[in-house]
Amino acid sequence: MAERLEDYALGKRATNTKGTIKKVGLVGGGSMGQEIAVEVSKAGIDVILIDLNPDRIEEIKGMISNLLDIRINRWGMTTGDKKAILSRIQFSTDFCDLVDSNIVIECINTKKSVSNIESRKEVFKSIEKCVGEDTVIASNASTVLIADLAIVLNHPERSIGIHFISPASSVDIIEVNKCVITNQVTSDIIEKFAKVIKKKIIHVTASPGNISTRLIIPLINEACELLMEGVGTVEDIDNTLMLGFGMQLGPFALADKIGLDKLLKWMEGLYDEFGDKKYKTSPIIKRMVRANLMGKRTGEGFYIYENEKRRSKAGSIINLGREI
């Protein structure tokens, strides 16, 4: 019989592996799912990424590979790092493959412009059917309350919100929000998880939008107001916040990076919840989403994107910045 390492353990500690995070499941292979997969794998943890659309799997693999190539080209990692990261990420269309995960994070991203809370609930149910009783079930949703998803679970005490902010590789925080029924074991596992993937936890009392989305949305809306009133140009408004207050990106560049369709969904979520005008989607953003000017992803939003470079649009905002 082959020898086992455990046979050489001197203390009890070595064989006691309870509570260690060996595998993390992700449901949803959109941009956030991809970024989280990379961050988790980078920390040496196995990842199983579920996407229900079999045609998408190859595409997602390619996109993760591209994501890593960009990091290599920008000197952030080596080809050896890329190989190791990819080797730890498995893909599947079957929820049953989540079975031995210690944590499963829902990070779906539907393209529909309606709230996706129902889809998220379905995903939560499907996850619970396939995983063990001690698996933590988490959601990366930013404007949906974790309690609203937890209620569909038989064991809601294992649910928790963990919100990553894009780009997950360089943002060193995650927002963690517990609902009243989240138990201590779940919180402890997430503490450990955050430590392993080297993120600082920002504890947020359950509230839609956490801190990040609540602050960013009124900022972008107010920037749109300034633009509509003709107070300044897109570039001037962005530069004021970047050069004046040391932000890495101004509100418009940020909106383009997030994606205006995603932003619209956040805005509607917060407006529904709080009913405050400051969260109501700016008409400019609505018009741009209708015209498929979603930002960086589609090549045009408040700026034009070509070859990884951003350039300003010369036209009036009445024409959504286009020159007619």
Partner 1 sequence: MQTEEVLAKGVVEKIGLNGSFLKNKRFDGDKLLLEGEILDHQIGIEYIVGVLISEKHGCIKSLEEIDAVGHRVVHGAEKFKASIRITMEMIEKVEQCSDLAPLHNPPNLKGIYAIDELLPNVMQVAVFDTAFHQTMEPHAYMYAIPYSLYTKYGIRRYGFHGTSHRYVSHRCGEILGQDVKDLKIISCHLGNGASIAAIQGGVSVDTSMGLTPVEGLIMGTRCGDLDLGAFTYIMDKEEIGLSAANTLINKHSGMLGVSGISSDMRDIENAVEEGNERAKLAMDMYQYRVKKYIGAYAAAMNGVDVIIFTGGIGENDINTRGAICLGLEFLGTSLDMDKHSELRGKEAIISSDDSKVKLMVIPTNEELVIARDTMEIKKNSIQ
Q: Which residue from 171, 176, 202 is spatially nearest to 190, judged by alpha carbons? A: 176
**Coil, helix or strand for 77?**
coil
Interface with partner 1 by CB under 8 A: which range of 6-14, 48-56, 120-128, 282-290?
A: 6-14
Q: Of 150-209, which residues contact partner 1 (CB under 8 A)?
A: 170
Interface with partner 1 by CB under 8 A: which range of 9-17, 228-236, 273-281, 316-324?
A: 9-17
Give CA–CA dist 259/270, Å, rounded: 17
Considering only 1, 18, 75, 133, the residue that binds partner 1 (CB under 8 A) is 75
Decide if residue 3 touches partner 1 (CB under 8 A). yes
In angstroms, the Cα distances linking 199 to 85, 192, 232, 284 are 18, 10, 37, 35
Q: Are 232 and 84 in contact (CB under 8 A)?
A: no
Considering only 1, 10, 180, 324, the residue that binds partner 1 (CB under 8 A) is 10
Give CA–CA dist 34/49, Å, rounded: 9
Decide if residue 1 touches partner 1 (CB under 8 A). no
Smallest distance from the beta carbon of 11 to partner 1, in angstroms?
5
Checking DSSP bridges between strand 136-139 and strand 173-178, what pairing results, if any?
Answer: unpaired
Considering only 54, 62, 76, 132, the residue that binds partner 1 (CB under 8 A) is 76
CB of 22 or CB of 129, closer to partner 1:
22
CB of 6 or CB of 133, closer to partner 1:
6
Considering only 53, 66, 78, 292, the residue that binds partner 1 (CB under 8 A) is 78
Q: In what order do the strands lie in the sheet with 159-164?
A: 89-92, 46-50, 23-27, 103-106, 136-139, 159-164, 173-178, 200-205
Give CA–CA dist 89/61, Å, rounded: 9
Give CA–CA dist 261/145, Å, rounded: 20
Decide if residue 4 touches partner 1 (CB under 8 A). yes
**What are the backbone dihedrals phi and psi of residue 161, each rounded to the nearest 5 degrees, phi first?**
-95, 130
**Coil, helix or strand for 12?**
coil
Give CA–CA dist 252/240, Å, rounded: 12
Give CA–CA dist 219/251, Å, rounded: 7
Size of the site for partner 1 (CB under 8 A): 22
Decide if residue 9 touches partner 1 (CB under 8 A). yes
Q: Of 14-73, which residues contact partner 1 (CB under 8 A)?
A: 14, 17, 20, 22, 44, 46
CB of 44 or CB of 283, closer to partner 1:
44
Decide if residue 245 touches partner 1 (CB under 8 A). no
CB of 3 or CB of 229, closer to partner 1:
3
Considering only 18, 74, 111, 112, the residue that binds partner 1 (CB under 8 A) is 74
Smallest distance from the beta carbon of 132 to partner 1, in angstroms?
18
Residues that bind partner 1 (CB under 8 A): 3-6, 8-11, 13-14, 17, 20, 22, 44, 46, 74-78, 88, 170
